[in-house]
Amino acid sequence: MAIEHKTRTQLVAEAIREKILTGEIKAGDPLRQAALAAELNVSRIPVREALLQLEAEGLVNFEAHKGATATELSASQIDEIFDLRALLEAELLSHSIDGLTDQDLIDAELILTELESAMDAGDTHLATGDLNSRFHGKLYSRAQRPQTRELVDMYSKNSERYVRMHILLAGGLTTAPEEHRTLLELCRAKDTKKACDFLKKHILGAKNDIKKLLLKIEDEKR
């Protein structure tokens, strides 16, 4: 197994990203470079670079005379992010499914078992982050569409806060495991059309659940 060497900027970006995704840094909170640099024991340069990276992921917003803040959770933003995910991920799966080997499917099932265990244990970081990405990534791994994959990875990071909200507050804890199992079985059967249609339904169903919750929260704030 190859050892991954991470730059200081990558490590800082991971630390700040985790604070945002777990809610330690809330939407709208200022991200003060000096304070973050002191907390993470680094200079301001990797903090600045990390914040720019997180801005590209949609987690941070830069405003003139205000600096960086954690982006607001928005019902209106959800449509575009999840609609793009549904289109792009179905496209990847359609090019990957026939090339999936028996070992790929075994690997996907092992990851899914880990993911289900994490959800049962209430570990939403693993369930919505690394393990969820690895499961879907394994199913897309034979697509040979690197640019599409890069976009999918970006939108997956961009939507992780919303996915975590779905798991915690909008019913995803009960629906996601069964839906992942169904998707895996359709891939195992090499039924490309049904698998891609189901994947779109899986992503758009999560979108609708989260959107209802966010609209309710926005109404309560008025």
Residue 2: predicted pLDDT:
41
pLDDT digits (tens, 9 = 90+) for 54-66: 887 778 888 877 7
Residue 127: the pLDDT is 66
The CATH number of residue 193's host domain is 1.20.120.530
- Indicate whether 110 and 183 sit together in one domain: yes
Position 86, amino acid: A
- Residue 1 domain-assigned (yes or no): no
Query: Are residues 25 and 78 located together in one domain of the fold?
Result: no
- Tell me: do 11 and 100 sit in the same domain: no
Same domain, 55 and 145: no
Structural domain ending residue among the three candidates 18, 51, 68: 68
- At residue 210, the 3 state secondary structure works out as helix
Cα dihedral 60, 66, 67, 69, rounded to 10, equals -20
H-helix segments, 7-129: 8-21, 33-40, 44-56, 75-96, 102-120, 124-128
Query: How far, in Å, CA of 112 to CA of 105, rounded?
Result: 10
Please check whether residues 119 and 213 belong to one and the same domain. Answer: yes
Spatial distance between the Cα atoms of 47 and 102, rounded to a whole number of angstroms: 43
Q: Assess whether 52 and 96 both reside in one domain.
A: no
Q: Give the residues of the chain that fall short of pLDDT 70.
A: 1-5, 22, 122-129, 167-174, 217-218, 220-222
Structural domain of 207: 74-219
Q: Rounded distance, CA 156 to CA 133, Å?
A: 8
Verify that 79 and 18 share a domain, yes or no: no
Same domain, 11 and 87: no
Indicate the Cα dihedral angle 155, 160, 161, 162, nearest 10°. 80
Same domain, 187 and 83: yes
The pLDDT tens digits for 14-58 are 899 878 876 788 888 999 999 999 999 999 999 999 999 888 777
Q: How far is CA 132 from CA 39, 52, 187, in A?
A: 29, 25, 16
Please tell me the predicted confidence (pLDDT) of residue 1: 39
Task: State the total domains in the chain.
Answer: 2
What pLDDT, on the 0 to 100 scale, is given for residue 27?
A: 81
Same-domain check for residues 102 and 205: yes
Cα separation, 206 vs 167, in Å, equals 9
Residues across the chain: 222
Measured distance CA(123)–CA(125) in Å, rounded: 6
Same domain, 30 and 81: no
* Statement to judge: residues 193 and 123 lie in one domain: yes
- 182, two tokens: 């169904």
Query: For position 125, what pLDDT does the model report?
Result: 63
Give the domain-ending residue among 14, 44, 68.
68
CATH code at position 58: 1.10.10.10
Domain termination site, one of 49, 68, 87: 68
* pTM assigned to the model: 0.73
Residue 67's SS3 state is: strand
End-to-end CA distance of the chain: 52
In the DSSP assignment, the letter for residue 1 is -
